Amino acid sequence: MSLSIRVATRDDVPLIAQFIRALADYEKLLHEVRFDEAVLAEKLFGARPYAEVLIGEIDGAPQGFALFFHNFSTFEGRPGIYLEDLFVNPQARGSGLGTALLARLAQLAVQRDCARLEWSVLDWNEPSIGFYKALGAKPMDEWTVFRLDGDALSGLAAKA
C-alpha cells in the first residue's frame, strides 16, 4: 500500500465537493451543505484563494482530504494553520492516511513558521477525539466557539 499527499488543483473541485458532502453526512450535517461548486472553485483557486486543500491518496486513488487556511496569533505574533475539514473515506480509515494528512499539515506549519495547527471537532466524535489525542493534540476546553451567520451576520454588518 502506498500513501501519498498532493496539493489539490482546480480540476479536483468535484472531488473536494464529494469529500465535503461525505464529511457532512458523517457529521450528520448534510442538510447544512449549500455551496455552489463554481463559487467553491473560485474561492479555492481564483485570484484570491481563501483556503488550500491537500488530497490524500492510497495507491493513486483519492481517499481523503484536508482543507485549511491561515489564521494569526496575536499572542505569538505569528501565523497558524486552521484545519477546517479533515476526512478519510470509511474504507480507508486505519490505513495511516489521516495521520499522513495531519503530518503534512504539521510540516507546512513548521515550514511557514506557524505557531500552531488548530481545528475543531464535534464533542460526540469520540473516534476522532481519540485519534487526535494519540497524536499529541490537546483539547482547548476552556474556549467556546462563537459564530455569526445568516441574518445575525447581515444585521451586525448593517450597523457598520
Is 82 among the residues known to form the active site? Answer: no
Q: What is the pLDDT of residues 80-116, one digit of tens each?
A: 999 999 999 999 999 999 999 999 999 999 999 999 9
* Average predicted confidence (pLDDT) for the chain: 97
Average pLDDT of 129-148?
95
Q: What pLDDT, on a 0 to 100 scale, did the predictor assign at position 22?
A: 98
Contact 65, 104 (CB under 8 A): no
Is residue 41 within 8 Å of 35, Cβ to Cβ? no
Separation CA 74–CA 25 (nearest Å): 35
CATH of the domain at 19: 3.40.630.30
User: Choosing from 26, 50, 82, 132, which is the catalytic residue?
Assistant: 132
Domain boundaries, position 104: 3-157
Query: How many domains does the structure of the chain reveal?
Result: 1
